[in-house]
Structure formats: structure tokens, C-alpha cells
């Protein structure tokens, strides 16, 4: 079986063509990088395919890491693999990032794979001596993962040293293998998996809701990206963090598949901070939902989301943008007013609160002359 494998989930871009019958890699490329995966991946795939001597018609499967990892990186690899698979009629197999890293370790024995998840957390997964996953990826502290590791476990991943140190144990062994997914190593895993629906991203850690402890400061320029239905899980997590009655991932999936629906997400170093969801018809658009994580509210995230999307809608020729905001939400109304929104109406008792009903203010902004 000929497998094209690729990874962009962490701090590298890795591509390989693996021949499972001869148990060797026909061609491979590995490039460490913190960002720029979207630009690097297509030419790397083209070069690896050329070096392998195969055409896409000879590829039986595509293997791609599904996370955990950086929000942007996971989406880049999945979008590319799914697009290529659909275009070429090739089955796409998702492999979680920690299983991909586990494939780097040649030694037999219990294995603990741990990767840095930031904010004093790690992603972890356990494997038995035969390489079978016995604990699916989960979020933990370094100390917990180390304490719960099997006796004599080999520890591998970007958080390996932190886990061993925090555990205080002497029987854990640090692996010398690569701490990142390597396409030439994990591609063969896809041969033993049954193709099904297109893989989805694996997001283990919901956005943090820690209160801001320091003086508020404006956040610098954010990376604002379009989010499709594959980002429904993270959109749902953000929505639950911002609103009392959060929407499910399925609700976001259904909504983003309707004509005219668009979502964008604001990211800082790969971490989602806020989102904006709109729907347009004819020459009008409405903001369905906008939210900023509590830990970064009043720091300019919503303004950046609105400013960019207002310009994008205007470029498309839309003429008006509408939104609804609770009458008591003076901070949001002030933001909208500063961006050119004016009051266009009021809906009596629109919002159902614990303490009773509240009016919604309808606001409108002209987008194009």
C-alpha cells in the first residue's frame, strides 16, 4: 500500500510517501517551523511526490494528523488532506498527533507521549509494550501524567523532560526519538485503519476562562482566519465560555453549511481568543454571534474582528450590516457605535433573563455607498 502522510499540527511541517509492502519511505521531507505551514505544505507535497516517482493515481491512502496541536496547524493539514482526497478520490485517514509521535520510538516497552499544551498543561497518551494505545489523548498536568505513567515507561514528546522532573520518579526513561510527528514514521499506521468519514480535528482543551489579573492592555494585531465547519468544535467551546447557553458543535456545523453563513476566529500565537459569525443575503448581512474569551475581554479583540469583517463584507458589495445587542450591554453598544453602527429599532422583551425579559437594540451600519 502506498500512503501519502503529512503533518502540520505542531512545530514542523512533515510529508512522506510510505510503501507498506516494502516497509520503507520512498521520499520524505521534514521542516521545523512555528508558523508558515500553509505556504510550506503544498510545495513539500509536490516535491515528495516527485521524489517518490509516483503519481497521485498510485496513492492508496492519505494519512494526516488530527491533533491535538495548534489550532491553525491542525486545520491546515486536515483541510489540505481532505481537499486532496476528495479531488483525487483517495481515502483520508486521521491519526491523532500523540500516536504519530509514538511511532518514532523504536524501543519496546510501555510508552508515555506528552506534548506541551501551554498554561501549565500537557497533552498525554499511553501505549503498551506492543505500541497499542491504552489511554486516549487527554489533558493533564505534568505531575499527574508522570505519576500515573506505567513502571519503567519511556517518555517521549515536547513535555517529556517536564513530566519526568515533575514526577520525581527514577524509573522513567527519556526517549531520544523525535518529539514531533514525523510523516515517514507514522504513515504506515494508516494501513491498519478502516477508512470512514473524513477525519475531524481533535481539540482536547477548551479555551481558558481565567480572570484577568493584571491591568488591561490592548492586544496587538491578531491573526484572523476564516473558520469552516471543521472548526465547529472550537467555535462551540468559545460560545459556551462566553454565553450562558452555549451552542453545540452540531449547531455550528449546520449553520456554517447554510448559504451566506461565515465565521472568523481571532488567534494569538495559534490560540483562539474570539469569534464572529455572520449571515448574508442579497446586499445585507447580520451578525449572528460575536464573542471574546472572558480573560481577554475589553482588550480590542472584538474590535479587530469587526473591523476586518466589515471591510470584507463591503468588498463583496454588501450595503448594510445589522446586529442585535441587549439594552443593558453598554460596553458592546459603545463599541458598535464607535464603529459606525446606529440604532435602528428595538425589540421589546427579546432576551429571556433569569430576572425577567430584556429589550434588544437593533443596530445598523452602512457598508457601501
**247: phi then psi, degrees, rounded to nearest 5:** -85, 150
59 and 126 together in one domain: no
**54: phi then psi, degrees, rounded to nearest 5:** -110, 155
Identified catalytic residue from 105, 121, 203, 336: 336
352 and 249 together in one domain: yes
269 and 249 together in one domain: yes
3-class state of residue 75 by DSSP: helix
169 and 44 together in one domain: no
- Domain hosting 229: range is 223-366
288: its cell numbers: 449572528
161 in a structural domain:
yes
CA 294 to chain centre: 19
CA 18 to chain centre: 26
**Total number of domains in the chain:** 3
- Catalytic: 336? yes
What's the pLDDT score for residue 205?
Answer: 59
188 and 55 together in one domain: yes
What's the pLDDT score for residue 211?
Answer: 41
CA 283 to chain centre: 32
91 and 230 together in one domain: no
273 and 156 together in one domain: no
211 in a structural domain:
no
What's the pLDDT score for residue 148?
Answer: 92
280 and 327 together in one domain: yes
Instruction: Encode 118-150: b = buried (16+ Cβ within 10 Å), e = exposed.
Output: eeebbbbbbbeeeeebebebbbbebbbbbeebb
140 and 245 together in one domain: no
232 and 343 together in one domain: yes
Beta-carbon contacts of 7 under 8 Å, excluding residues fewer than 6 positions away, are: 13, 14, 15, 64, 65, 77, 97, 100, 180, 181, 182, 183, 186
113 and 239 together in one domain: no
357 in a structural domain:
yes
343 and 239 together in one domain: yes
Rounded Cα distance between 368 and 107, Å, is 64
- CATH code, 37: 3.30.420.40
154 in a structural domain:
yes
Identified catalytic residue from 324, 350, 351, 358: 324
Cis (ω within 30 of 0) for the bond into 68?
A: yes
What's the pLDDT score for residue 217?
Answer: 60
CA angle 2, 202, 131 (to 5 degrees): 55
CA angle 195, 89, 97 (to 5 degrees): 45
- CATH code, 307: 3.40.630.30
Note the pLDDT tens digit of each residue in 180-216.
Answer: 999 999 999 999 999 888 888 887 755 443 444 444 4
- Please list the pLDDT of the chain residue by residue as tens digits (369 residues): 999 999 999 999 999 999 999 989 999 999 999 888 988 999 999 999 999 999 999 999 999 999 998 877 888 898 899 889 988 999 999 999 999 999 999 998 999 999 998 778 899 999 998 889 998 899 999 999 999 999 999 999 999 999 999 999 999 999 999 999 999 999 999 999 998 888 888 877 554 434 444 444 677 888 999 998 888 888 988 888 888 788 888 889 989 988 999 999 999 877 889 999 999 988 999 999 999 988 788 889 999 999 999 999 999 999 999 999 999 888 899 999 999 999 999 988 887 776 778 899 999 999 976
**211: phi then psi, degrees, rounded to nearest 5:** -65, 150
What's the pLDDT score for residue 36?
Answer: 85
To the question of pTM greater than 0.75 for the whole model, the response is no
3-class state of residue 97 by DSSP: helix
What's the pLDDT score for residue 207?
Answer: 45
Concatenated DSSP letters of 308-341: HHHHHHHHTT--EEEEEEETT-HHHHHHHHHTT-
3-class state of residue 224 by DSSP: strand
Amino acid at each position: 500500500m502506498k500512503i501519502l502522510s503529512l503533518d502540520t499540527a505542531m512545530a514542523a511541517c512533515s510529508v512522506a510517501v510510505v510503501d507498506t509492502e516494502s516497509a520503507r519511505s520512498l521520499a520524505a521531507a521534514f521542516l521545523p517551523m512555528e508558523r508558515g505551514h500553509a505556504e510550506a505544505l503544498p510545495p513539500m507535497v509536490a516535491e515528495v511526490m516527485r521524489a517518490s516517482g509516483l503519481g497521485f493515481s498510485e496513492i492508496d491512502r492519505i494519512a494526516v494528523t488530527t491533533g491535538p496541536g495548534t489550532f491553525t496547524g491542525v486545520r491546515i493539514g486536515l483541510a489540505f488532506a481532505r481537499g486532496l482526497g476528495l479531488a483525487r478520490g483517495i481515502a483520508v485517514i486521521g491519526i491523532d498527533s500523540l500516536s504519530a509521535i509514538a511511532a518514532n520510538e523504536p524501543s519496546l516497552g510501555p510508552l508515555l507521549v506528552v506534548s506541551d499544551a501551554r498554561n501549565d498543561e500537557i497533552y498525554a497518551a499511553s501505549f503498551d509494550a506492543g505500541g497499542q494505545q491504552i489511554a486516549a489523548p487527554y489533558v493533564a498536568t505534568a505531575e499527574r501524567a508522570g505519576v500515573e505513567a506505567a513502571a519503567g515507561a519511556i517518555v517521549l514528546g515536547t513535555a517529556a523532560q517536564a513530566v519526568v522532573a515533575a514526577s520525581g520518579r527514577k524509573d522513567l526513561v527519556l526517549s531520544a526519538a523525535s518529539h514531533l510527528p514525523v510523516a515517514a514514521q507514522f504513515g504506515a499506521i494508516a494501513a491498519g485503519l478502516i477508512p470512514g468519514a473524513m477525519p475531524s480535528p481533535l481539540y482536547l482543551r477548551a479555551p481558558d476562562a481565567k480572570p484577568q489579573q493584571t491591568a488591561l492592555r490592548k492586544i496587538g494585531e491578531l491573526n484572523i482566519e476564516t473558520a469552516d465547519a471543521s472548526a465547529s468544535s472550537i467555535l462551540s467551546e468559545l460560545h459556551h465560555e462566553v454565553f450562558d447557553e452555549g451552542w453545540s458543535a452540531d449547531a455550528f456545523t449546520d449553520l456554517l453549511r447554510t448559504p451566506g453563513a461565515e465565521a472568523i476566529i481571532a488567534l494569538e500565537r495559534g490560540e483562539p481568543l474570539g469569534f464572529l459569525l455572520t449571515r448574508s443575503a442579497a446586499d445585507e448581512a447580520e451578525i449572528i454571534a460575536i464573542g471574546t474569551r472572558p480573560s481577554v475581554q475589553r482588550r480590542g479583540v472584538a474590535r479587530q474582528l469587526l473591523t476586518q469583517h466589515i471591510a470584507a463584507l463591503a468588498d463583496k458589495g454588501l450595503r448594510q450590516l445589522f446586529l442585535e445587542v441587549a439594552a443593558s450591554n453598554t460596553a458592546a453598544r459603545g463599541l458598535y457605535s464607535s464603529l459606525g453602527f446606529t440604532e435602528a429599532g428595538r425589540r421589546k422583551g427579546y432576551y429571556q433573563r433569569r430576572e425577567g425579559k430584556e429589550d434588544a437594540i437593533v443596530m445598523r451600519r452602512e457598508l457601501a455607498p
